[in-house]
Amino acid sequence: MNRNLWIESPTDAKLDRLCNELADRAAELDRQQAWPEEQLRLCAEAGLWRWFLSPADGGLGWSEADLMRGYLRLARACLTTTFVITQASGALRRIATSQHDEVRERVLPALLAGDAFTTLGISHLTTSRRHLAEPALRATPEGDGFRLDGYSPWVTGGLYADWIVTGAQLADGRQILTIVPTSAAGVDCDEPTELVALSGSKTGAVQLREVFVDSAWLLAGPVENVLVGAKGASTGGLQTSALAIGLADAAVTLVEAERARRTELDEAAAALRHELGAVMSDLLSLAEGEAVCTSEQLRSRANSLVLRASQAALTAAKGTGFVTGHPAGRWCREALFFLVWSCPAPVVASNLCELAGIES
C-alpha cells in the first residue's frame, strides 16, 4: 500500500495518468470482452476505492460532487471499467454501513487494498422482474439468520466477487439487504451474458439455492422498501448520469477534433459542447445539494445527450468510425446501455417520448 500513489482529489494530476492508462486499453478491452483486471488493479493502486469511504473507515472521504467529477473523468476514458467501479463502490458503501465491526474489519481492508472484490445484485428490488407475481429472491427467517432462495438477475462481475450485496423479499413483503459471501453453499454465478456493449463487465445472473446467511451479514431490514434512502445502492442515482455525461464528453471531443479540419462541423460541435456544459453543471449542482432539477430529469437529459453525441461522433468520423475498433462505433453501442441501466419509470417514459417524437 503506497500512499504516494493515491489520487487525493479530482484535480490531482495522477487522475489524468490513470485515465490515460484506462483510455489506452479501452478498445482492446472491448474487442476481447475481457474482465478489466489490470484496469481495476491500477485503480486500487491509485487508492480509488478510498474515494468512497470516510477517513474513519480508511477512506479519503471525497464529497458527492468530487465523486461525480471522478466518474466524469473515468467514464470518458473507459466505460466498462467505470461501470464495474459503480457496482463495486455501491456495494462497498453499503458494507461500510454494517453494524457489525467484525464484518467491517474482515471485509473493508481487503476491498480497499484491491485484494478482494465486491458487487451489487439489487435490480430485482428496483427495476428488474418487478412485474412477476413471485419475487426473484425470497428470504425466510431461520435460526439466527435468513435462508435465501431464488436468483439475482443482473450481477456485474459476480464470478470475480468475494461478496455480493443483494436484497431479498420475505413472505410478508418486507425486504432485507445483506452481504452474501460467494463461497457460501448454494451460491452459483451463471456464465456471464454476451452483451451489445460492456461485455467485459461479465454481468450475469447469480443463483441462490437455499443459501443460509447469518444475521451478522445483514445490512438493513427486514423493512418495506429497504432501498429507499439507501446510499450507494439506489436506482437512477447521480452516478448513472455522470457516466452518461462522461461518455458524451468523449464523443463531443471527437467531433471537436474532426471540426479542426472541417468547418461544416462547427455548429454541431459548439451546440453539443454547450449542452454538455449545462448538463455537467447541473450534475455537480445536484451533487452539492442544490435542487436545480430532479435527478430523474437530469438522467433523461444525460441519456438523450449521450445517444445524440455518440451518433454525432460516428457521423463526423464517417465510414471510418463504422469500422470495428474505432471509438465512435463503440461509444454508440455503449450509449445504448443508458436506455436500460438502472432506469426508473419516469426516465423510461421520458426516453420513450423523445424516441417517439412526443413532447413530454
Ligand X SMILES: Cc1cc2nc3c(=O)[nH]c(=O)nc-3n(C[C@H](O)[C@H](O)[C@H](O)COP(=O)(O)OP(=O)(O)OC[C@H]3O[C@@H](n4cnc5c(N)ncnc54)[C@H](O)[C@@H]3O)c2cc1C
The three cell numbers locating residue 155 = 450481477
DSSP 297-329: HHHHHHHHHHHHHHHHHHHHHHHHHTSTT-HHH
CA distances to 6, 48, 98, 116, 345 from 3, rounded to whole Å, are 5, 11, 26, 19, 43
CA-CA distance, 79 to 248, in Å (whole number)?
Answer: 11
Find the helix packing angle between 266-287 and 295-321, rounded to 10°.
150
DSSP E strands in 191-314: the ranges are 203-214, 218-223
CB of 261 to ligand X, least distance (A): 36
The three cell numbers locating residue 321 = 468510425
Stretch of 105-113, 222-230, 256-264, 336-344 contacting ligand X, by CB under 6 A = 336-344
342 binds ligand X (CB under 6 A): yes
CB of 237 to ligand X, least distance (A): 11
User: Pick from 47, 70, 114, 121: which binds ligand X (CB under 6 A)?
Assistant: 121
CB of 130 to ligand X, least distance (A): 6
87 binds ligand X (CB under 6 A): yes
Helix (H) or strand (E) holding 214: strand 203-214
33 binds ligand X (CB under 6 A): no
CB of 234 to ligand X, least distance (A): 11
Per CB under 6 A, contacts with ligand X among 293-322 are none
CA-CA distance, 293 to 298, in Å (whole number)?
Answer: 7
Phi, psi of 127 (to 5 degrees): -125, 5
Q: Which C-beta is closer to ligand X: that of 235 or that of 304?
A: 235
CB of 123 to ligand X, least distance (A): 3
120 binds ligand X (CB under 6 A): yes
CA-CA distance, 306 to 321, in Å (whole number)?
Answer: 16
Stretch of 4-12, 44-52, 182-190, 195-203 contacting ligand X, by CB under 6 A = 195-203
User: Pick from 2, 131, 172, 264: which binds ligand X (CB under 6 A)?
Assistant: 131
CB of 277 to ligand X, least distance (A): 28
Site track 132-161 with ligand X (rule: CB under 6 A), x = hit: ---------------------xxxx-----
User: Pick from 91, 122, 242, 254: which binds ligand X (CB under 6 A)?
Assistant: 122
127 binds ligand X (CB under 6 A): yes
The identity of residue 66, as a single letter, is D
The identity of residue 248, as a single letter, is A
For residues 261, 330, 279, 277, the Cα torsion angle rounded to the nearest 10 degrees is -20
DSSP state of 59: S
123 binds ligand X (CB under 6 A): yes
Applying CB under 6 A, the site for ligand X has a residue count of: 22
129 binds ligand X (CB under 6 A): yes
Contact residues for ligand X (CB under 6 A)?
A: 87, 119-123, 127-131, 153-156, 195, 198, 201, 203, 340-342
